[in-house]
Amino acid sequence: MPRWFGTDGIRGRVGEPQLAPDFVVRVGFAAGRVLARAHAGSRRPTVVIGKDTRVSGYFLEAALQAGFTAAGVDVLLTGPLPTPGVAYLTRALRLDAGVVVSASHNPYQDNGIKLFSAAGDKLSDAVEAAIEEELEKTPAVVSAEQLGKARRVVDAVGRYIEFCKATFPGELSLDGVRLVVDAANGAAYQAAPAVFHELGATVTAVGVEPNGFNINEGVGAVFPQCVAAAVARSGADYGIALDGDGDRVVMVDRNGRIFDGDALLYAIVRDRFMRGEAIDGVVGTVMTNGGLEVALSRLGIRLERTAVGDRYVGERLRQLGWRYGGEGSGHLLCLDLHTTGDGIVSALQVLAALIRHETTLAEWVADLVFFPQVVVNVPWPRGVDWRAEPVLAREVAEVERSLAGVGRVLVRPSGTEPKLRIMVEGRDEETVRAAADRLQKAAQRAEQVA
């Protein structure tokens, strides 16, 4: 089992051991040594480091830079840039790895480190294991003539804006479309409004005044009520809400209806299907609503599920040679356009579908009927197996028996926070809510003795 890496890199509260300055230097050094070994005797490796708008990004960026350069790796710095922007630059500039300093949708007190391969996708488990192995060794700085150098990337945001715009069909335009774009006071605060504006939309921007402490604070994909209220005030057609690092998206229509990742994935896939594209299947996760599976099956498209995490969705898509997948949280992958989830690119694909078919989002996904699903989060110690707690294990087993054939239960530890996530899904909403409440109380009791 990995000691430091979770489902989305290394993450935690600033100041905890995994995000202390000395350890972050070691992370950069360890990752640099792994890269250097891969290119031994050929050339000096180069990585790009981007970040979101958290105040802690300053020292974490500097610590990583110190570690990489001490290992003999050159570093390019972008400043605030969405996670998918870093993935794009890694591939476009033919670099050896990309690094993002971000805790995505978490509050500003948290931060994290995510790494991308040269291909612009999440690192494999094997590479992460190699980095963890290197972390156990005593760092040995390379000789002075082998030290890496660091420099800023010129117009990183502008390059990413042009990439996003290029994913929107050239024969279409956003002229006449009124949008509210909520960048969550995060990494996309510069890029997101510009992309939609430059494609012709009338844009009202919110969540674009980061101060180091307000990322995801009552704004963005985690709080879609904010963009919904802005849509109502401005009379916009749609609201687009991103998360702190710009790889998630949630949309809202003029009636205040919120469309999550499952609905947006269906909107994109249905458009591709209606235009004659052969789609063998779509990859979701164990959390993907059963209603999406039913709607896709009507199109003759099967749904395959993975563990929670867009990295697992991406890995399975590549294994199967498929193109589309995602999570209800808003991580959507269109591998025909990008190597990783991208909130801006995903929103553009949804808008292109609606313009092309001259319809609304509500009409376009009208045949997608979600099963009632309730997700509750309970504080839970890291590393404690909930199945070893008899009170909770017994309650889960009894609820599963009661829902047999008409619903399902999923209990899993969060990969990014010290929480236990409990999901109950079924055909009857009252039954689902009662079951979720029962399991939440059982988990709270178990947590007190865990």
Residue among 106, 81, 84 nearest 16 (CA): 106
The candidate with the shortest Cα–Cα distance to 439, out of 382, 385, 400, 407, is 400
211, 221, 157, 213: which is closest to 188 by C-alpha? 157
Nearest to 422 by CA among 381, 449, 386: 386
CA distance 334 to 447: 39
Pair 282, 388: CB distance under 8 Å: no
Give, as one character, the DSSP assignment of residue 144.
G
Q: Which residues pair with residue 412 across a beta bridge?
A: 421
The 3-state DSSP class for residue 327 equals: coil
Active site residue 104: yes
Q: Quote the DSSP letter at residue 248.
A: B
User: Strand, coil or helix: what is 66?
Assistant: helix
How far is the C-alpha of 233 from the C-alpha of 186, rounded, in Å? Answer: 23
Select from 100, 95, 83 the least CA-distant residue to 333.
83
Catalytic residue among 42, 56, 102, 104: 104
Residues with catalytic annotation? 104
